[in-house]
């Protein structure tokens, strides 16, 4: 950058110049400037802001007193552009407004939804000439703001948004910012130090003096600046000896402490009010100084001493070290008094959250009124999506709570908020403390449920199952002991028992433990409404599913099938998912609606209806995206990705799993990581990407086996078997797929055994083991005996054809194709139809009916090509050549040219979804969607949405 100069920082200025040039040209960039206090971070940030034109500049500075207030820094940063929120998708707009305190949240917000809204708002602000966001003192930025900004920074892509961060080099900030490029600011060299000293003192220092002072300060620019003000002209020019020791021996903070100590008492009191107030509000600070008995005009003396800048809208400390020195120099009693008066003033202004924090700082011991106010502030932060900051506030409320039972409940809430905020260690600590205090049965059950959820998300699923079942049994025993005496409490306990049983069923499903599923179903039978009253519809649905699943695993199909059918019949149609009051159950909120759809998918799987299971899973994904589910989106994306794979959408399935994998890793959901890796392995197997398949599968198994995740381990192992089958390694495929049938709980899963049956039959026949093929076909017949869908019957017919004599095979394969033709969603059956057509074509060719064979083989080859199923396409084209048809080299499948993000966007646009709604579903900004579409159209050789829809159909 030409023009004014910062001593000793030429390389940094060049880097900032390139950074700003990229933003003006439309690129998205992020950069962290990291260094010790006084290294010059703030100076460089101000320099960048001053030279950003014509790009717009937004600024925020972390303040230690507000480091626990959710979205405090974001409020500073976005205040000038909040009016642009109307251009955002509705869900993002509402989430951002609620986060910034401009509206009440309609429900508990997912932090990803808030973050997506921040990303959209920043891209809107960058629309004309680009945008530079400057965030200083990041080490004190509240967690909610930090999460949102870093989420956005990882997704800047052609938006012309730059995020420039200044932070001290502390462990927490280094960890949080590890994914962003950074520059470490060390001390300046002797030449830079000479420039700093000369600029401050107005004279040229003697080289030996420069060397000594540089060594004493470590080249820290702020320390050099302060030292120059403490040395005389004679000392700087070498005409008088330097003091021994140099006056920077206690550091810059020590120098500031001495300066403050020399100020008048009234000035120190007013400065204390300013240091504790947080936002620098002049009216609040002056009023607090007055109540503390000080003259508020005494701040002018601090300004004259270079301690603060008195701006029209803000009292700003010249450096954070000065604020720290003011705080350190005050007595504890003085600090408590200042907090007490600040709290009273903020209560008068109806700023409840900040008032509660000051009241807490003024407290000298447990106080229920103070704790209750602080807990309410924590709940408001949680409702806005600021989970980590809510956890911090709730933990402090628990500390101040005198009653052990109330303290345990607040610790429970702390644990839940910390978990959702991505702090599992803090969550476990709070949970352990709550367990030590809890005595009430319902609370004990709730604590056990939270602990089990933690374990199921990231730990050993078998341990989670044990915890859920034990808690359910204890709670159920309490219900029996108190039956009829306290109807309302009894109903609450029964709901807790049902929730624990549902969580236990989820854990059993993850493990593949059918005996546990039977046990859970039996326990669910005993759950009725209080004094015989019916359960609410949502509870009745869940109870039917649990009882039906248990009955089927127990072999009681006559009891289990009607229960599952009744549950599925009570679900709303596709048009009401996630709309309040529109689901016919208990309020219709998106989280509950999505959870019911996931249970419906599990029920359909047990009925042998993979197509229905896929539909329910896909619907759950749609509901989760538009409703802002709390902390569970990666888990829902597992099911949505699986649904797309089961519906022939391998490229989109992989794209969804890549998104889910990134989110799961960001939130520390290790078991969801395993799920997405396993699904990616299957998608890679179908597409013949051997190295990718093996890498995904082995990484998934490395998590799934020790965590007892039989479902994920089974899917990963299935992927390796499917890879061998597609590549023609039939003996190896037969061995791998057969091994799935003997893998016990924690290593395999009954649903995977069922889902892989058709591949197992094909591998067995190709390997020459007809007896194994017939046994597998018989198994599939028993499993799908109650299935009503054409696809399920078609799959059975295909397996029967492979295991049958040649005379019957062709008729059965034609029957399978006819059944697949009856499916309402022909796109969803593309893969099954192609596999069946390939087998039929092969049989016809062996019967020398080459003309008939060619049409089926051609259809199969074309379908495999569209899906990117390379190994299967090569097999079909090889059969075509053997049938006498010359086939040219296949062109690359169009969808293979798209990135995962482009594919997700293209698929939704092809379905008729607007750019605005695509942004809402994918946690992007509308402008990012437009940017990607501009790249998608040329890649696919199209120019319109209509062409895109035709292509993807």
pLDDT tens-digit profile of 23-65? Answer: 998 889 999 999 988 888 999 999 999 999 999 999 999 988 8
Backbone angles phi, psi at 403, to 5 degrees: -80, 125
CATH 3.40.50.300 fits 10-185, yes or no: yes
For the chain, the distance separating the N- and C-terminal CA atoms, rounded to the nearest angstrom, is 52
SS3 184: strand
Please report the pLDDT score of residue 565 as a whole number.
Answer: 92
d(CA 687, CA 719): 11
Fold category of 440-570 in CATH: 1.25.40
For the chain, domain boundaries:
10-185, 190-249, 257-362, 440-570, 578-668, 671-748, 900-952
Please report the pLDDT score of residue 611 as a whole number.
Answer: 82
d(CA 179, CA 340): 41
Please report the pLDDT score of residue 525 as a whole number.
Answer: 86
d(CA 22, CA 181): 15
Q: Name, in order, each residue with C-beta under 8 angstroms of 194's C-beta and a sequence gap of 6 or more.
A: 204, 205, 207, 210
Tokens describing residue 362: 């003024």
**Distances, alpha carbon 754 to alpha carbons 121, 608, 710, 714, 738, in Å:** 47, 8, 14, 11, 12
Please report the pLDDT score of residue 484 as a whole number.
Answer: 47
Q: Name, in order, each residue with C-beta under 8 angstroms of 144's C-beta and a sequence gap of 6 or more.
A: 70, 71, 74, 99, 111, 114, 381, 384, 385, 386, 387, 388, 389
Give ∠ CA 861-866-870 in degrees, rounded to 5. 60
Please report the pLDDT score of residue 538 as a whole number.
Answer: 85
d(CA 932, CA 937): 9
Arch. (CATH architecture) of 900-952: Orthogonal Bundle (1.10)
Tokens describing residue 186: 């060390």
Q: Comparing C-alpha atoms, which of 506, 500, 401 is closest to residue 451?
A: 500
**Distances, alpha carbon 410 to alpha carbons 373, 403, 471, 704, in Å:** 12, 11, 20, 33
SS3 823: coil
Positions of the chain with pLDDT under 50: 1-3, 484-489, 575-588, 628-630
Tokens describing residue 858: 């051609």
Please report the pLDDT score of residue 49 as a whole number.
Answer: 95
Predicted structure pTM score: 0.79
């Amino acid at each position: 950058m030409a023009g004014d100069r910062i001593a000793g920082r030429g390389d940094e200025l060049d880097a900032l110049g390139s950074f700003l040039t990229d933003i003006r040209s439309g690129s998205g960039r992020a950069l962290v400037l990291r260094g010790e206090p006084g290294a010059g971070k703030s100076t460089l940030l101000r320099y960048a802001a001053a030279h950003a034109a014509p790009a717009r500049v937004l600024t925020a500075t972390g303040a230690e007193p507000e480091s626990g207030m959710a979205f405090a820094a974001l409020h500073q940063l976005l205040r000038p552009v909040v009016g642009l929120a109307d251009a955002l998708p509705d869900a993002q707009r509402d989430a951002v407004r609620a986060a910034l305190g401009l509206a009440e949240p309609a429900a508990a917000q997912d932090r990803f939804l808030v973050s997506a809204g921040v990303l959209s708002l920043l891209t809107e602000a960058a629309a004309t000439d680009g945008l530079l966001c400057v965030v200083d003192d990041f080490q004190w930025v509240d967690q909610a703001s930090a999460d949102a900004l870093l989420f956005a920074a990882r997704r800047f892509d052609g938006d012309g948004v730059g995020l420039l961060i200044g932070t001290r080099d502390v462990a927490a900030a280094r960890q949080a910012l590890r994914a962003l490029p950074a520059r470490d600011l060390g001390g300046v060299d002797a030449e830079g130090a000479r420039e700093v000293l000369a600029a401050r003192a107005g004279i040229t220092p003697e080289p030996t003096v420069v060397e000594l002072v540089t060594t004493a300060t470590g080249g820290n620019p702020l320390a050099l600046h302060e030292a120059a003000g403490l040395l005389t002209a004679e000392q700087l020019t070498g005409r008088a000896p330097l003091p021994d020791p140099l006056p920077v021996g206690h550091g810059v903070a020590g120098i500031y402490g001495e300066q403050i100590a020399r100020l008048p008492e009234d000035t120190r009191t007013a400065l204390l009010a300013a240091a504790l107030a947080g936002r620098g509000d002049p009216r609040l600070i002056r009023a607090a100084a007055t109540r503390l008995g000080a003259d508020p005009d005494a701040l002018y003396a601090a300004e004259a001493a270079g301690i603060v800048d008195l701006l029209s809208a803000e009292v700003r400390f010249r450096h954070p070290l000065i604020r720290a020195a003011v705080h350190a120099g005050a007595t504890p009693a003085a600090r408590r008094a200042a907090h007490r008066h600040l709290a009273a003033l903020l209560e008068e202004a109806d700023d409840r959250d900040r008032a509660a924090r000051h009241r807490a700082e003024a407290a000298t011991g447990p106080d229920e009124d103070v704790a209750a106010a602080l807990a309410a502030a924590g709940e408001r932060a949680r409702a806005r999506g600021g989970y980590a900051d809510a956890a911090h506030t709730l933990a402090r409320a628990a500390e101040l709570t005198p009653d052990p039972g109330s303290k345990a409940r607040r610790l429970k809430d702390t644990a839940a908020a910390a978990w959702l905020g991505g702090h599992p260690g803090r969550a476990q600590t709070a949970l352990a403390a709550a367990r030590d205090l809890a005595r009430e049965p319902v609370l004990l059950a709730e604590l056990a449920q939270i602990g089990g959820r933690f374990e199921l998300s990231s730990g050993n699923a078998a341990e989670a199952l044990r915890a859920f079942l034990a808690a359910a049994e204890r709670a159920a025993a309490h219900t029996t002991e108190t039956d009829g005496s306290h109807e309302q409490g009894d109903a609450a306990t029964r709901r807790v028992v049902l929730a624990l049983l549902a969580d236990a069923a989820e854990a059993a499903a993850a493990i593949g433990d059918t005996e546990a599923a039977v046990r859970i179903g039996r326990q669910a039978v005993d759950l009725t409404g209080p004094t015989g009253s019916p359960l609410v519809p949502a509870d009745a649905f869940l109870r039917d599913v649990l009882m039906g699943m248990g009955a089927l695993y127990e072999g009681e199909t006559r009891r289990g099938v009607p229960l599952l059918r009744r549950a599925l019949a009570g679900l709303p149609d596709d048009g009401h998912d996630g709309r309040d009051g529109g689901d016919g159950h208990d309020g219709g909120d998106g989280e509950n609606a999505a959870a019911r759809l996931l249970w419906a998918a599990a029920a359909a799987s047990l009925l042998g209806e993979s197509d229905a299971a896929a539909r329910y899973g896909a619907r759950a994904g749609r509901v989760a995206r538009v409703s802002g589910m709390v902390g569970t989106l990666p888990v829902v994306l597992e099911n949505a990705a699986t649904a797309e794979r089961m519906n022939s959408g391998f490229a989109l399935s992989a794209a969804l799993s890549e998104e889910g994998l990134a989110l799961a890793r960001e939130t520390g959901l290790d078991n969801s990581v395993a799920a997405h890796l396993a699904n990616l392995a299957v998608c890679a197997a179908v597409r013949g990407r051997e190295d990718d398949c093996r890498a995904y599968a082995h990484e998934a198994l490395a998590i799934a086996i020790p965590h007892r995740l039989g479902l994920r381990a089974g899917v990963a192992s299935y992927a390796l078997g499917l890879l061998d089958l597609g590549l023609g390694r039939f003996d190896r495929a037969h061995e791998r797929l057969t091994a799935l049938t003997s893998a016990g709980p924690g290593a395999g899963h009954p649903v995977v055994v069922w889902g892989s049956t058709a591949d197992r039959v094909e591998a067995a026949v190709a390997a020459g083991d007809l007896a194994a093929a017939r046994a597998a076909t018989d198994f599939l017949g028993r499993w799908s005996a109650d299935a009503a869908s054409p696809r399920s019957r078609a799959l059975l017919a295909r397996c029967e054809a492979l295991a049958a004599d040649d005379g019957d095979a062709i008729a059965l394969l034609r029957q399978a194709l006819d059944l697949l033709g009856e499916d309402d969603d022909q796109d969803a059956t593309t893969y099954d139809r192609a596999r069946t057509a390939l087998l039929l074509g092969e049989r016809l060719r062996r019967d020398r009916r080459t003309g008939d064979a060619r049409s089926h083989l051609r259809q199969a080859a074309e379908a495999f090509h569209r899906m990117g199923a390379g190994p299967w396409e090569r097999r079909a084209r090889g059969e075509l050549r053997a049938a006498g048809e010359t086939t040219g080299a296949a062109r690359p499948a169009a969808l293979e040219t798209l990135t995962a993000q482009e594919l997700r966007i293209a698929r939704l646009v092809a379905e008729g979804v607007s750019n605005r709604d695509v942004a809402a579903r994918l946690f992007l900004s509308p402008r990012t969607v437009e940017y990607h579409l501009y790249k998608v159209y040329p890649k696919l050789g199209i120019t319109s949405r209509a062409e895109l829809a035709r292509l993807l159909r």
